[in-house]
Amino acid sequence: MKRWTKAFIAMTTMLMALTGCWDSKPVDKRLLPLIMGVDLDEEKNTYIVSLRIPDPLSGSFYSAHAEAYTFSEALDRMRMNEERSIDLLHVSLVLVSEALAKKGIEDITQYIMRARELKSKVTLAVVRGNVAKLISDQSKKRKESSTEMLDLFNTSAGWTPNIALTHAWEVYRDILSPTADIVLPIINKGTETMFQMEGSALFHNDRMVGFISSDETMLYNLFHGRFISGIVEVTESASLQIVDANVKNQTSWEGGSPKIKSTMELKAIVLEAKAKNVLDNRILKRELEQLLEKRFQLLFIKIKQEHSDILMTGVIFRKKLTQSQIDEWENQLFPKLVIDFRTVVDIRNTGDIKMRE
């Protein structure tokens, strides 16, 4: 009998626990936005926040907008008007307008990192044109359930090295770090797909300072080892597909200025060729090497002009720096930096057609 009493008491206690779900909100009473857009109203100095919320049942989506002095206030206003609760946990893309990017994105990054409402691994991108309009763009380009556009930034789906891929935590890191800067993709409203890539925005600390093309972005991604096979480079006599890339850096001091000797080892295969009968491997190799080296030189001149250390050279150079040198890297040492960039191309094969007869 005593055992039964004990069991009864234990079970009743468990029942009590059932009543106390503090945070529970049924799934059908939640809105789960996927994309968040942030724009700046320069006259009123307020943020315009927009959300794109997919509706899995109909395959379409809702959008919501609000304007306020801070992000949380804007979201609060949206929550006030919305019938259902808004849960930002699944937002995986934050779109920032070009105006805001030029003014500085530290506020939004800090909000993401501090509030934990959004994931710190959310992807950031800069939008040319009106963010709110892009987010509430109703024109349905393809028959798909409204979440596909995010696969553009998914390395195991539609991402290619022509797209800069930067997460909020990286932005936060590079704003605080004196030895690194970031690149964010610039997108525009697409004609056939939802987004169209325009290139990438160069940042110095939290401000957008310049622009690089998508070809240069590819080089930037290769330099960081972010690579998936299938990039096509067109030289004078052939189209080559890069299938493997590997970067090695050597650091040294030369007369008070830092020097990085950087070697990029590439493996490529031939996809198309102008010459019908005979292919010369050495020519193909040299053409691709020169193409990439020249592109790198232009990229490096550009980032040096803008003081934007997107190649994270300061981090590469860390082993030869003291703490005080790390602190002054951005202003004193980076402008003096010399990069000796070499590519070594290996043409692995020429596809299913022989090199010569």
Q: Which residues bind another protein (CB under 8 A)?
A: 20, 22-23, 89-90, 113, 116, 119-121, 154-156, 167, 169, 172-173, 176-180, 312, 315-316, 318-319, 321-323, 326
**Residue closer to another protein (CB basis): 151 or 346:** 151
Q: How far is the CB of 258 from another protein (least distance, A)?
A: 14
**Residue closer to another protein (CB basis): 61 or 153:** 153
**Residue closer to another protein (CB basis): 164 or 270:** 164
As a whole number of angstroms, the distance between CA 339 and CA 237 comes to 28
Q: How far is the CB of 85 from another protein (least distance, A)?
A: 12
Q: How far is the CB of 336 from another protein (least distance, A)?
A: 19
**Residue closer to another protein (CB basis): 12 or 322:** 322
Q: How far is the CB of 120 from another protein (least distance, A)?
A: 5
Q: How far is the CB of 92 from another protein (least distance, A)?
A: 9
**Residue closer to another protein (CB basis): 40 or 227:** 227
